C-alpha cells in the first residue's frame, strides 16, 4: 500500500493550516492576560497609595502641633494635589483593564469562530474582523497605560520637588551646599507648589 493512500496531503495541509490559525489567538490571549495581570498589580499599588496619602492628610489635619510642623500648609497642599493625581491614575488604570478584558474576549471569540469556520466554509471571514477589533482594544489599552505612566512620573516629580524644598528649609546650609545640580540647571530651584482655591472636604477638617 502506497504512502499516499494512507496520508492525504490535502487533508494534512488543511489540518496544519487549522492548527496554525488556532495558535495565533492563543498567543494573543496569553499576551493580553499578562497585560491584565500587570495592570491589576499597578491598580492595587495605586489604591494602597491613596490610602497612605489619606492617612497622612488625616494626621496633619488633626495634629495638635501644626505650628511646629515645617511647611505645614505646603504639606497639605502637596498631599491634596497628589491625591488628585493618584485618583486620576486609578481611573485610567480601571479603563485600561476593562479595555484589555474586551480585547481578551475578542481573542477568545476569534478562536471559537476559527473552530466553527473549520466546519462551515462559508463563515471563514468571521474571525478576521473579530481579531482586528481585539487588536484595536489592545492598542487603546496601551494608550491608557502610556497616559498613566506619564501621570505616575509627574506624581513622583512633584513629591521629590517638595522633599527638596523641605530639605532646604530644615537641613543645615552646609549640608545642602554639598549637593549641586546636575545637568543644565544652574541651581536648585524651589519646588513649584500650586496655589489654588481647592478646598479641603469638611470631613477632613478638625474641629
Residue by residue, pLDDT tens for the chain (207 residues) are: 444 444 444 544 566 666 666 777 888 888 899 999 999 999 999 989 888 888 888 877 777 776 667 777 777 888 888 888 898 999 999 999 999 999 999 999 988 888 787 777 777 788 889 999 999 999 999 999 999 999 888 888 888 887 777 777 766 777 666 665 454 444 434 444 444 444 434 433 333
Domain that holds residue 64: 9-204
pLDDT at residue number 139: 95
Locus of grid cell 481578551: 104
Alpha helices (H) along the chain: 3-6, 9-61, 72-119, 127-170, 173-176
Q: Is residue 4 part of a domain?
A: no
C-alpha cell at 172: 543645615
Q: Is residue 96 part of a domain?
A: yes
C-alpha cell at 75: 504639606
Q: What angle do CA 27, 28, 33 make, to 5 degrees?
A: 100
The domain total for the chain is: 1
pLDDT at residue number 102: 95
**Cβ of 88: how many Cβ atoms within 10 Å?**
15
Q: Is residue 28 part of a domain?
A: yes
Q: Is residue 3 part of a domain?
A: no
The pTM of the whole model exceeds 0.85:
no
pLDDT at residue number 57: 81
Q: Is residue 2 part of a domain?
A: no
DSSP string, 115-130: HHHHH-GGGTTTHHHH
- What is the rounded radius of gyration, in angstroms, for the C-alpha atoms of the chain? 28
Q: Is residue 149 part of a domain?
A: yes
Q: Distance between CA atoms of 193 and 189, rounded to whole angstroms?
A: 12
Q: Distance between CA atoms of 136 and 173, rounded to whole angstroms?
A: 55
Amino acid at each position: 500500500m502506497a504512502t499516499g493512500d494512507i496520508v492525504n496531503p490535502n487533508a494534512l495541509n488543511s489540518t496544519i493550516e487549522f492548527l496554525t490559525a488556532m495558535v495565533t489567538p492563543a498567543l494573543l490571549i496569553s499576551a493580553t492576560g499578562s497585560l491584565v495581570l500587570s495592570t491589576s498589580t499597578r491598580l492595587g499599588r495605586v489604591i494602597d497609595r491613596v490610602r497612605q496619602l489619606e492617612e497622612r492628610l488625616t494626621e496633619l489635619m488633626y495634629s495638635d502641633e501644626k505650628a511646629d510642623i515645617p511647611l505645614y500648609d505646603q504639606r497639605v497642599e502637596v498631599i491634596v494635589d497628589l491625591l488628585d493625581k493618584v485618583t486620576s491614575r486609578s481611573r485610567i488604570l480601571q479603563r485600561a483593564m476593562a479595555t484589555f478584558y474586551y480585547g481578551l474576549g475578542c481573542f477568545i471569540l476569534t478562536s471559537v469562530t476559527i473552530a466553527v469556520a473549520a466546519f462551515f466554509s462559508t463563515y471563514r471571514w468571521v474571525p478576521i474582523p473579530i481579531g482586528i477589533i481585539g487588536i484595536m482594544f489592545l492598542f487603546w489599552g496601551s494608550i491608557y497605560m502610556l497616559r498613566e505612566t506619564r501621570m505616575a512620573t509627574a506624581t513622583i516629580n512633584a513629591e521629590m520637588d517638595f522633599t527638596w524644598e523641605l530639605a532646604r528649609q530644615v537641613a543645615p546650609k552646609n549640608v545642602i551646599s554639598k549637593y549641586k545640580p546636575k545637568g543644565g540647571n544652574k541651581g536648585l530651584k524651589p519646588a513649584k507648589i500650586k496655589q489654588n482655591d481647592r478646598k479641603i472636604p469638611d470631613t477632613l477638617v478638625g474641629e
